[in-house]
Structure 1
Amino acid sequence: MRIEQHDYDVIVIGAGGAGLRAAIETRQRGLRTAVVCKSLFGKAHTVMAEGGIAASMGNANPHDDWQVHFRDTMRGGKFLNNWRMAELHAREAPQRVWELETYGALFDRTADGRISQRNFGGHEYPRLAHVGDRTGLELIRTLQQKIVSLQQADFAEHGEHEARLKVFQECTVTELLKDAPDGRIAGAFAYWRESGRYVLFRAPVVILATGGIGKSFKVTSNSWEYTGDGHALALRAGAALINMEFVQFHPTGMVWPPSVKGILVTESVRGDGGVLRDSGGRRFMFDYIPDVFKDNYADTEDEADRWYADPEANRRPPELLPRDEVARAINSEIKAGRGSEHGGVFLDIATRLTPDEITRRLPSMHHQFRELADVDITGEMMEVGPTCHYVMGGVEVDPDTAASGVPGLFAAGEVAGGMHGSNRLGGNSLSDLLVFGRRAGLGAAEYLAAGHGPEPRQSDVDDAAERAEQPFAPAANAENPYALHSELQQVMNDLVGIIRVGEQMQDALRRLDELRERARNLVVEGNRQFNPGWHLALDLRNMLLVSECVARAAVLRTESRGGHTRDDHPGMAPTWRRTLLACSLSRDGVRVDEQRQLPVRPDLLELFAAEELRKYFTDEELAAAAG
């Protein structure tokens, strides 16, 4: 079989914020870099991140600094974060935002010309640098332009066909390849989505930047690319996945009409003053402030209203609680029968802002609701409800280098686990992409400096091609990939969704076993040339594997923490604090092991009050850290 081949130093899989920032770093360090993306260049899911980039620049409040940002991030993750990742993120986020400006990003400005920063849930101060409600789009546009400028520099120096940075768009990677002696990364096997032709990328380094897993769920804000490809590729290559039970359900997705159910309604609506109301018009979030947050959030409407006039004087409105808390509150209101006509609650921004302010500050939301739901948010309330949005779990990586446990394999962005613990704060995703995209590029350069040159085995390439073509083989009990995908989404949505019960998740595991067996008989018609059914059949292999990781880890964690809510274990359990769950792949399938979280550095613990720390650490652990 004739297969197209390309040789590079680094392959970056994914062209969102993390992938592009990693590619810029490796190219600037002289490495031949290929960016392989599943969709068109510029269509990465990062563009859907609307609210802003979290960075403690102190432009809106001079008291903000990296220590406060670190503290907010750890609190949001219920102290299951990889503390070193949270520290690096908080320290380096401002530099990454200022760097974007040097690339050409055009942020909204304050009256005196500084980058404007807005409020977001879980952040003590206004911290999100933004471009209206289209920040992710500006981030991708800016990084794309930087990629193009680097390519043009190559053309000018080496000739038209000598770019050391190339983008392979509409190209899907199905397997990572390793060398025989020591299991180092040696490349990747892929196919062109349009023609179906196979591609072999030979390289000693792969950086995964593939995003999330949301298309395994029926109601999701995620786009079609989010099928857990990077998670599954890493797992099959021998890497571990950490924190897979923690799936974030964004509190506010569209609920009507059904064709757009789940599409994201940015948190910046609430950051700019939007409030949540039940079917009777009552502002219900005051009923759902957890004890751990009582000191930081207003418990009366009058107090919350005063905060909008003077954010330094009063506690924040409860609509700005971390996302997991708001999502659970909305879910409770709906279950109690106080929801909207179409199964959500109401989000009201028109009471707080004038029509001109809404169209200026939230242009995408105004357009989205007007065009898709025939609702004018300048005078009408939005119907919203929880939607699967983000997975906190991902490839277990070294915080400083983004290296996985597989030599030559790195990961950054949503596909990497640890940074956000059990729950991600809004706005931390975009700064995460930039901070750890750059660090993955640095880590790759350091790894290559040691002089690694593995070669993929031809037998592995042949096996990858054979597996890719299996759906074209006839089967006695042929299964349709679209029907199987629909069943998978329903199982995950109903049994491993926002509210979980042990018995239901055991049922989900049984159903997933059945689906995996049936997936052996997936059959598609036609040939490899632009065949969406074939594409989905290959994606299902990844979705089934990653869904099993989520379900198995969620069954084991018998507590409620962050994005993991157990109806049969409603509180955080002392026995689970500082305990992480790691998924790996063995001959018998997915294996889940407990591991202890590394001790937090003493100077970082000093940023928290002793009373707060006792909710997450034993006295013995605190004494050991202090002494």
Structure 2
Amino acid sequence: MTTITPVETDASDVEHGEYEEVTVPVLVIGAGAAGARTAIALAEQGIDSLVVGKRDFGDAHTVWAAGGINAALGSLDPDDDWAIHAADTIDEGHYLNDPTAVETVTRAMPDRIRELDEWGTEFARTPDGKIDQRYFGAQSFRRTCFVGDRTGEAILDTLVERAQSLEIPYRENVMVTKLLSDGERAYGAVASDMDDGHEILFRASHVVLAAGGFSALWSRHSSRDDENTGDGPALALDAGASLLDVEFVQFHPTGMVADPEWDDDWNGRLVTEAVRGEGGRLYNAEGERFMERYSPDQMELDARDVVARAIQTEVDAGRGTADGGVYLDISHRDRSFIRERLPNMYERFQSLGVDLAEEPVEVAPTAHYTMGGVDIDFATGETAVDRLYAVGETTAGVHGANRLGGNSLAETVALGAIVGDHVATTYEPREVDPLPEHVRAIAEREFDRLAALAAADGDEDPDALIAELRALLWEHAGIRRDGPSLADGRTAVAALRERARHIGLAGDRSDRPFEYAVDLGFMLTLADAVLGAAARRTESRGAHYRTDYPDVDPDWRRNVLVTLGDGDEVRLSTRTVGAPSERVQRALDEGYELDYHHLE
């Protein structure tokens, strides 16, 4: 993993301060829905855990998953079931999904939704009192449960309240910089307190990574700039685990195009798929409803990769807006309908001077979700490193080459419960083992590195380097890719890595530049892995589109694995994908498909 040690300062020559040592049975890194649900499962079985996060408890990327969460309840379409949900997921993932992962999640989701309902999530209801469900792109049936257009926020609020009722401890503003692992077993983590900069050593019997994905590596992204920077996957890779499918990043079709009068932070923020799920239409600058050219049957509710590429094609052909976007319009719906079904979107745009009930909004593709991540066993959540687990967007396997809308929240609560339950069954109530000397030495070296990083006095700005890296990924590993550009991208990443050794901080560890310097190390690791895996996959499939290999290659129904070799160089290998169960295969063979025209 890229760990930034300034060349101007020898880490061994810098004194680090006294560090705090914390012992806990299970350390959960990440405070979104996946981490919270894992901790709840542990607490319900009497196992103590500590949840740590870089932000406040409840302030996580989960809140941006606004449109809904999938479960085959059959509230409106009784023919739906978990196997059809699984088939839709595999079909949308272009048959690269781990079938066990898919079936594990889709089987579990009806129970997880009923559980959230019992815990207080105020899902929308049908007139007869059932949990309401809406259409989402590429779904065969109405399967997406929702709370207006703030579903992720509502679910996270429910989980946080549940965790607090169980008195699960949480530490805010803690940035984990390294896992304590000898490549065979995880023992804990090293972290920095972002409030005052003091060092922390966490000693744990089990470690769970729930630290999100890496979509913020691209210059247009739906995350906040300081989240989804690749922390979880990079930490796992450094600890000895493998990554899977990192070449697949989902560019959501409808990110905001910021008006010059707005705060630039709005640029790329998500306009939820629920707008299209409730009948929103896409038009180019010439007023054409252009999805008729690309997907006359499913229109705006085709798969996200299809719609995103269609928008980019319109823009490249000169039919986009001056700012490189298109228009999303739901003004044909009644104002009362929009306010009831899309309250957050309505209020957001009202606050910016745009009336959704009267006019369209300008949108363009934005990096939104990373299908790739840590390779795990979906029966347990465990990585290749003993006692190291991963959940949520940090992982890979469920989504394959493209994620089915509404499945991100589903994955967090389904797998969180599984991991918590599994750890609870394997944990032996006793004191946490003392750290072996070689592992404590790893911690000491990390403390030295962090001290040197804080004292660095070079002339490179970490925030500026991050901006360059994001532009580089957008150019070389964006919606369209090709071999020479990917190779150039890797060369550029190597140059940025060398420049990162000359950063200048010379400030307080609680300052944002120190955080950016740590984030930059994670981001450089993932950038090289993404570019390498994308170059290795010589075909187009799902969200990975190669202009020099524009077709799906049946021989490439394989996953690309990433490991670290000697000298921390990225090593790539492949493995074949397993077969779905007979029941799911039957559902795939039936070829269920959304009838879009219900929305017309």
TM-score w.r.t. the length of structure 2 is 0.92
- Counterpart selection for 1:323 from 290, 299, 304: 304
Secondary structure of the 1:595 match is strand
SS in 1 for 2:27: strand
Percent sequence identity is 41
**What residue is the counterpart of 1:156 in the other structure?**
none
Matched, 1:442 2:404: no
The letter of the residue matching 1:461 is: A
1:403–1:443 Cα contact (<8 Å) kept: no
Specify whether residues 611 and 8 from structure 1 end up closer, same or farther in structure 2 by C-alpha distance, changes over 3 A only. closer
Instruction: Compute the displacement of 1:103 (Å).
Output: 1.1
**CA-atom RMSD in angstroms:** 1.6
For 1:178 and 1:455, how far apart are their aligned partners in 2? 13
Q: Contact 2:35–2:391 at 8 Å: present in 1 too?
A: yes
Q: CA deviation at 1:360?
A: 1.5
Structure 2 residue 384 is the aligned partner of structure 1 residue 405: yes
Measure, in 2, the Cα distance between the counterparts of 1:610 and 1:594.
30
Aligned to 1:201: 202
Aligned-partner Cα distance in 2 for 1:219–1:580: 26
Could you say what secondary structure the match of 1:607 adopts?
Answer: helix
Q: Are 1:78 and 1:423, in contact at CA under 8 Å, matched by a contact in 2?
A: yes
Residues 259-284 of structure 1, C-alpha deviation per residue, up to 9 Å, x if partnerless? 12100000000000001111121111
Give the total of aligned pairs: 567
What amino acid maps onto 2:170 in structure 1? V
Measured against aligned partners, the alpha-carbon deviations of 1:177-216 in whole angstroms (never above 9, x if no partner) come to: 136xx83111111111010011111101111111111221
* C-alpha separation in 2, matches of 1:598 and 1:72: 17
- Aligned match of 1:272 in 265, 272, 278? 278
Instruction: Select 2:587's aligned residue among 592, 601, 607.
Output: 607
Matched, 1:354 2:355: no
2:531 corresponds in structure 1 to 551
Mapped to 2, the partners of 1:16 and 1:271 lie a distance apart of 25
Deviations 1:478-500 (A, max 9, x none): 31101111110110011111111
Q: Matched residue of 2:588: which SS?
A: coil
Instruction: Show the counterpart of 1:619.
Output: none
Partner of 1:574: 554
> Match for 1:10: what amino acid?
V
Q: Which moved more, 1:234-243 or 1:595-604?
A: 595-604
5 Å matches for 1:476-555?
478-528=459-509, 530-555=510-535
Aligned counterpart, 1:228:
230
> Quick check: 1:39–1:225 contact (8 Å CA) kept in 2?
no
Q: Deviations over 1:355-375 (max 9, x none)?
A: 111112111111222223x21
Once residues 603 and 271 of structure 1 are traced to their aligned partners in structure 2, the CA distance between those partners, rounded to angstroms, is 28
Whether the 8 Å CA contact 1:184–1:204 is kept in 2: the answer is no
Do structure 1's residue 176 and structure 2's residue 182 form an aligned pair?
Answer: no
Separation in 2, partners of 1:567, 1:581: 19
**2-structure distance, mates of 1:66, 1:583:** 31
Q: 2:324: which partner in 1? A: 343
Please give the secondary structure, in 2, of the residue aligned with 1:324.
helix
Provide the rounded CA distance (Å) in 2 between the counterparts of 1:286 and 1:455: 64
Q: Which residue of 2 aligns with 1:116?
A: 132
Deviations 1:570-589 (A, max 9, x none): 11112212x11000011141
Residues 252 and 387, structure 1, Cα contact 8 Å, conserved in 2 = yes
SS of 2:420's equivalent in the other structure is: helix
Matches within 5 A, 1:422-461: 422-449=401-428, 453-456=432-435, 457-461=439-443
CA distance in 1, matches of 2:70, 2:189: 33
| Partner in structure 1 of residue 244 of structure 2 | 242
Q: Residue type matched to 1:95 in 2?
A: D
Give the C-alpha shift of residue 24 in structure 1.
0.2
Bigger RCO of structures 1 and 2 (CA < 8 A, at least 6 apart)? 2
What SS is found at the alignment partner of 2:152? Answer: helix
Tell which deviates more after alignment, 331-340 or 231-240. 331-340
Letter in 1 for 2:408: S
| Contact 1:410 1:444 (8 Å CA) reproduced | no
Amino acid at match of 1:364: N
Describe the SS at the equivalent of 2:140.
Answer: coil
Counterpart residue number, 2:114: 98
Q: Hey, what does 1:51 align to over in structure 2?
A: 67
> What is residue 253 of structure 1 aligned with on the other side?
255
- Give, in angstroms, the shift of residue 593 of structure 1: 0.6
- Residue 158 of structure 1 aligns with which residue? none
Secondary structure of the residue aligned to 1:191 is strand
Task: Give the gaps of 5 or more residues in structure 2.
Answer: 1-16, 593-600
Q: CA separation in 1, counterparts of 2:575 and 2:399?
A: 17
- Partner of 1:550: helix, strand, or coil? helix
- Pair 1:144-2:165 in alignment: no
Give, in whole Å, the separation in 2 of the partners of 1:378 and 1:603: 44
Partner-residue secondary structure (3-state), 1:9 = strand
Task: Quote the residue 2:191 is aligned against.
Answer: 190
Give unpaired runs (5+ residues) of structure 1. 152-164, 290-298, 300-315, 613-627
Change (3 A) 1:84 1:357: same
| Contact in 2 for aligned 1:189/1:461 (Cα 8 Å) | yes
| Amino acid aligned to 2:322 | E
The corresponding residue for 2:13 is none
Query: What is the CA-CA distance between 1:450 and the residue it aligns to?
Result: 9.7
For 1:332 and 1:270, locate their aligned partners in 2 and report how far apart those are by CA, in whole Å: 19
Given that residues 178 and 455 in structure 1 are in contact (C-alpha distance below 8 angstroms), is that contact kept between their aligned partners in structure 2? no
Aligned residue type for 2:579: P
Task: Find the aligned partners of 2:583 and 2:328 in 1 and give their Cα distance.
Answer: 41
Partner of 1:161: none
